[in-house]
Every structure is written in C-alpha cells, then in structure tokens.
Amino acid sequence: MVTGGARGIGAAIARHAVDQGASVAVLDLLEDRGRATATELDGLFVRVDLADCAGTAAAMATAIAGLGGIDVLVNAAGVLRLGPLLDTTPADWDAVFAVNTRAMLITMQAAATAMIAAGTGGRIVNLASMAAKDGGANEGAYAASKAAVLALTRAAALEWGCHSIRVNAICPGYVLTEMGAATRTDDDVAAWTARSPLGRLASPDDVANVACFLASDEASYLTGEAVNVTGGMMTH
C-alpha cells in the first residue's frame, strides 16, 4: 500500500513493487492520476484526503479489505510549504503536519493493527527528507514535520518489533518531482546538483529502489533506521 502513489516518488515505488510481484493499492487525493497509476499496475485505487483523520482511517480499511490484508505500507505522501519562519502561521504549520506526520500515525496504526491480527509481521517505510536532519531555511514547518517522522518511525520500530513489524524511514535529498516544481529555478537545480559528489540529483527510481529494499526480506535485520538517499550530500 502506497500513500501518495499517484505520481512522483510514490508512483515509482508502486511500479517497482509490482515489478517485484506485489499487489498494490494506491491511496491519493489526486483521483484521475491515482486511478491511472492503479490501472496501469492492475492495482486498487482509494481516494483519500490525508488531512481528514476519519477519512484516512476509512480509506485504510477499504484498501486493506480490497487487498485482502497488508504486508507493506509505504507512506510517500507529503506536502511542502515554503516561507520564512517569521511568516509561518499556525494554520500553515498545522496544514503541513496534518499530512506529513499526523496522517502517517493513522495509516501506521491501521496497518500495524492488521499486521498484528494476521500474525505474519510486516514492513512499514516512511518517507522523511534530508531536511529532517539538515534543517532548511524557508522550510521550517516541512523540516520539522519530517524530523517528527523520524521520531515516529523509531517509536514504532521499538513498539512493534516484537510483532515482527519492521519500520524504517528514508531521507531523500533533492528529487526532481512535481512537488516544488513551481518554486524551483534552473539556478536552484544547478546549486543543488553541485552539492552531490555524484554530480546529479536523484530520480524517483533511486528512492523507489531503497524503499523496495527496506520492504524486502533482504532487509530483515533493519528497523528504526533513517536511510539517506542524498547522493552523498549527507553522510551521517
């Protein structure tokens, strides 16, 4: 199950999962794009507004029932609001946290409850950000929400490991997706690229490969981790 799976990193993760034999449910607010991605993957689409707590819980129940259970949850949905801290309003803060952090708690609770009931364990992968560790001027609410994702991931790993549920996070660096496209410039892209020893920015597939690894049996002894996918921009 992939939240934010209609496009970008989420869609790439869904495609890689299907290539590896998974049946996928795509949860997203973007109905046309979400249905198109799910149809392409012979999967299930469930529309959800992750800012709506009750709606998120209901969407999870629908998706779990539609799949006949859940083995893997990938929380890839997120929102980005840019602006100086002095201009960040409580409403801005709450809107970012509602989707980036609070909704993740609800989806994780639903998935873990189903996994525990099935007795077969499971894997949860949460998309955080390099900003969770590196901070970020003019993205204070976003960076704080992603740092909270890391704390939530560690807490879940500690609580649910006894049920054979592994919970890890990914901290991508700069990925050229539709999120943020309206605010970035060619100069921004050049400056970001120069920060990587590899001399390039990430593609959605770079992140999807790591997500699918963390969801696989090959990562069976990894939990509570926050894996950097930054092309060397961050090495701790």
Contacts of 223 (CB under 8 A, 6+ apart): 157, 161, 166, 167, 168
Distances (CA, A) of 102 to 44, 52, 67, 117, 138: 24, 10, 24, 23, 22
Q: Which two tokens stand for residue 139?
A: 């993205």
- Measure the CA–CA gap between 38 and 14, rounded to whole angstroms: 9
The catalytically annotated residue of 142, 160, 174, 192 is 142
Collapsing DSSP to helix, strand or coil, 168 comes out as strand
User: Is 221 a known active-site residue?
Assistant: no
Q: Report CA 226 to chain centroid distance, whole Å.
A: 12
Q: Which two tokens stand for residue 146?
A: 């992603």
Q: Where are the alpha helices (DSSP H) in the chain?
A: 8-19, 31-40, 53-67, 90-97, 103-118, 131-134, 140-160, 186-195, 204-214
Active site residues: 142
